[in-house]
């Protein structure tokens, strides 16, 4: 209450988080590898493409020391493919799938490479190759909207067709928002919406609404819920069965 911020992340916080994503840069100057808290970066050797965190890539881009190679999905071809998937009547109910997860690394032997300083371990939603040139062309990563927006704002000249990409991004956002909104109509005190493939910014956008709505419905339904529980408790005591497990899900705070 003291902080007038909505629950969850604000748009700029989500934007800040997405700057952790690796993008491929084509350096114009040499740069030794940097020892950073998140792990060392690779040395830059013109003209070999190198993966760098987005924030560093944007910094070098601003200083005209590097060019950014946009990921494969952030192109007119990739985005229109995804857009077709989203608007197809057969797949109108679902969101386009997210990028494929890397194969599980399995159990590691020994401690030498776990949390060591020379490897960067990515955990979902950060996938190692979701925004570099090695990314899949036909799937959106978790931070698609933020990465797309940042690259279009600061590195528009590295795109073949920045206007086309921008238009497609906007279309895609509207298609997916309308799908999310369709899902909200079924929301209830105990109901849920399937959010597979929904991006970080989209979640931040709807969190306040969905949270507030479910919370409000839960409050209105509390008296009914309590009487139902009392009835069930009575049934159990009388040996009439009822559900055997304690139903705690409705206590969940969003």
Partner 1 sequence: MSSYYTPSSILTDAQKTPLTFDLLLPHLSPLNNSTPITPGTRLDLPLWLAEMLAVSKPAGPGSASLATLDMPAALGGKVMNALRADPKSVDVRAQAQWFYGLGERMLELFEEEEVVEVLTETFKARALEIADKAQNTRTVQQGDGSSDFMNTLDEDERQRKYSEQPTMAAIP
Which parts of this chain interact with partner 1 (CB under 8 A)?
Answer: 1, 6-7, 10-12, 145, 149, 153, 170, 173, 181, 184-185, 187-189, 201, 204-205, 208-209, 212-213, 215-217, 219-224, 227
- H or E stretch at 149: helix 144-154
Of the two residues 170 and 236, which places its CB atom closer to partner 1 in the complex?
A: 170
User: Which of these, 195, 194, 196, 168, lies nearest to 97 by C-alpha position?
Assistant: 196
Whole-Å CA distances, 30 to 60, 67, 140, 206 = 12, 13, 32, 43
How far is it, in rounded angstroms, from Cα 147 to Cα 130? 10
Least distance (Å) between residue 138 CB and partner 1:
24
Of the two residues 5 and 100, which places its CB atom closer to partner 1 in the complex?
A: 5
Of the two residues 61 and 173, which places its CB atom closer to partner 1 in the complex?
A: 173
- Report whether 26 contacts 66 (CB < 8 A): yes
Least distance (Å) between residue 206 CB and partner 1:
8
User: Which of these, 105, 134, 126, lies nearest to 21 by C-alpha position?
Assistant: 126
Of the two residues 61 and 149, which places its CB atom closer to partner 1 in the complex?
A: 149
Least distance (Å) between residue 216 CB and partner 1:
6
Least distance (Å) between residue 180 CB and partner 1:
10
Of the two residues 10 and 29, which places its CB atom closer to partner 1 in the complex?
A: 10
Of the two residues 4 and 106, which places its CB atom closer to partner 1 in the complex?
A: 4
Least distance (Å) between residue 225 CB and partner 1:
10
How far is it, in rounded angstroms, from Cα 254 to Cα 252? 6
Of the two residues 20 and 213, which places its CB atom closer to partner 1 in the complex?
A: 213
Least distance (Å) between residue 212 CB and partner 1:
4
How far is it, in rounded angstroms, from Cα 174 to Cα 104? 34
Q: 68 by DSSP, 3-state: which?
A: strand
How far is it, in rounded angstroms, from Cα 63 to Cα 44? 15
- Report whether 164 contacts 156 (CB < 8 A): no
How far is it, in rounded angstroms, from Cα 163 to Cα 249? 47
Least distance (Å) between residue 199 CB and partner 1:
12
């Amino acid at each position: 209450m003291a902080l007038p911020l909505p629950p969850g992340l604000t748009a700029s916080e989500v934007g800040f988080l997405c700057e952790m994503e690796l993008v491929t840069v084509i350096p114009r100057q040499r740069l030794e590898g940097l020892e950073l808290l998140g792990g060392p970066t690779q040395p830059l050797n013109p003209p070999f493409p190198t993966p760098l965190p987005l924030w560093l890539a944007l910094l070098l881009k601003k200083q005209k020391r590097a060019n950014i190679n946009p990921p494969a999905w952030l192109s007119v071809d990739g985005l229109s493919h995804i857009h077709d998937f989203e608007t197809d009547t057969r797949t109108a109910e679902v969101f386009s799938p997210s990028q494929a997860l890397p194969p599980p690394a399995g159990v590691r032997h020994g401690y030498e490479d776990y949390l060591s300083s020379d490897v960067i371990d990515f955990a979902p939603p950060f996938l190692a190759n979701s925004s570099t040139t090695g990314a899949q062309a036909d799937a959106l990563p978790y931070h698609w909207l933020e990465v797309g927006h940042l690259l279009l704002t600061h590195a528009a000249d590295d795109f073949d067709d920045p206007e086309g990409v921008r238009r497609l991004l906007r279309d895609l956002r509207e298609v997916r928002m309308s799908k999310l909104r369709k899902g909200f109509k079924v929301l209830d005190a105990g109901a849920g919406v399937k959010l597979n493939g929904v991006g970080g910014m989209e979640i931040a956008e709807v969190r306040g609404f969905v949270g507030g709505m479910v919370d409000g419905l839960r409050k209105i339904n509390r008296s009914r819920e309590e009487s139902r529980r009392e009835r069930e408790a009575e049934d159990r005591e009388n040996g009439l069965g009822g559900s055997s497990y304690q139903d705690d899900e409705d206590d969940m705070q969003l």
